[in-house]
Amino acid sequence: MREPPLRFRSIWISDIHLGTAGCQADYLLDFLRHTEADHLYLVGDIVDGWALKRSWFWQQSHNDVIQKVLRKARKGTQVTYIPGNHDAGARQFAGLTFGGIRIADEAIHTTADGRRFLVLHGDEFDGVVQCARWLAIVGDRLYSLTLRLNRAFNQVRARLGLGYWSLSQYLKHKVKTAVNFVSDFEAAVAAQARERGLDGVICGHIHKAELREIDGVLYCNDGDWVESLTALVELYSGELQIITWQQCYAEQAARTAVPAYAAANQGASGA
């Protein structure tokens, strides 16, 4: 199947967590293969240094993601890497450029229609991470456990011929405190953009894609590639959208499946 790539002015992806079993590198590779952009922002938690320190996990697909991004940088995409808390080691290189990839603590992105957005990972607004690091680490371990469960669960679903369904996402949405934390986080990040006189903010970190106005500024979260498989994109008009790749993926598969189904039906009616 050789379809022309979807072209966007900008793409934001974050929370890929390369180096963990939860990372959905194959879906991300598929996304990177089918999309092109003038600007690509890697909005933190790209490689999971915390998890790699605990136990080494690295697959060929994780290399492929990095190669793919480097290749895009070589071919003219402006790539900006904003490290997050799980890859905070890279923050010491802010201001430098490696392999055509600019590393920065944060960035200001101006859309085609002239709006200005603050781009950052977002962990600095995470009260848990700021106040008690040990609590964050305990939470992180519980989280990787749910992701492992999620993976096993979806392997069973796949065997039964069922589609991908995020158990960890479902559980998290069921927890009320998590919901409270999400809304507090969103409000805090949006307030930062407002204080700086910007039109909006683009972040990641909480693994929940979002695009909505909060007190006069546009709050955008590009989601993640461990559960929701989402990216934020800017069209050439300047309009921002969230892309859920598992949906695009399913629609694509359905499109290619339809002719085969129609052909089979035609054969049946002719008989």
Helix (H) or strand (E) run with residue 252 in it: helix 245-270
Q: Contact between 22 and Mn ion (CB under 5 A)?
A: no
Which segment (52-60, 101-109, 184-192, 205-213) binds Mn ion by CB under 5 A? 205-213
What is the per-residue binding string for Mn ion in 225-254, x denoting contact by CB under 5 A? ------------------------------
Query: Is position 84 an interface residue for Mn ion (rule: CB under 5 A)?
Result: yes
**Cα angle for residues 30, 252, 238 (degrees, 5° grid):** 75
CB of 196 to Mn ion, least distance (A): 21
Q: Which two tokens stand for residue 80?
A: 């900006």
Range 30-69, binding Mn ion (CB under 5 A): 45
**From the CB of 87, what's the least distance to Mn ion, in Å?**
9
Alpha helices in 58-175 (DSSP H): 60-74, 127-131, 133-159, 167-174
Strand (E) positions, 180-264? Answer: 200-203, 210-214, 217-221, 230-234, 240-244
The mark string for 89-128 relative to Mn ion (x by CB under 5 A, - otherwise) is: ----------------------------------x-----
**Segment lying near Mn ion (by CB under 5 A), choices 23-31, 77-85, 190-198, 249-257:** 77-85
Contact 209, 244 (CB under 8 A): yes
Near Mn ion by CB under 5 A, which window of 17-25, 199-207, 235-243, 249-257? 199-207
The residues, any chain, with a CB within 8 Å of residue 224's CB and separated by 6 or more, are 14, 15, 16, 17, 45, 204, 207, 209, 230
Q: Are 168 and 162 in contact (CB under 8 A)?
A: no
Number of H helices, E strands in the chain: 8, 12
- Binding flag, residue 144, Mn ion (CB under 5 A): no
Stretch that binds Mn ion, among 81-89, 167-175, 214-222, 243-251 (CB under 5 A): 81-89
Number of residues in contact with Mn ion under rule CB under 5 A: 5
Question: Of 109, 118, 114, 42, nearest to 81 (Cα)?
Answer: 42
Among 17, 220, 198, smallest CA distance to 122 is for 220
Rule CB under 5 A: choose which of 85, 144, 150, 192 binds Mn ion.
85
Please select the residue that binds Mn ion; options are 205, 226, 231, 233, rule is CB under 5 A.
Answer: 205
**Of 18-26, 76-84, 187-195, 256-264, which segment contacts Mn ion by CB under 5 A?**
76-84
**Which residues make up the interface to Mn ion (CB under 5 A)?**
45, 84-85, 123, 205
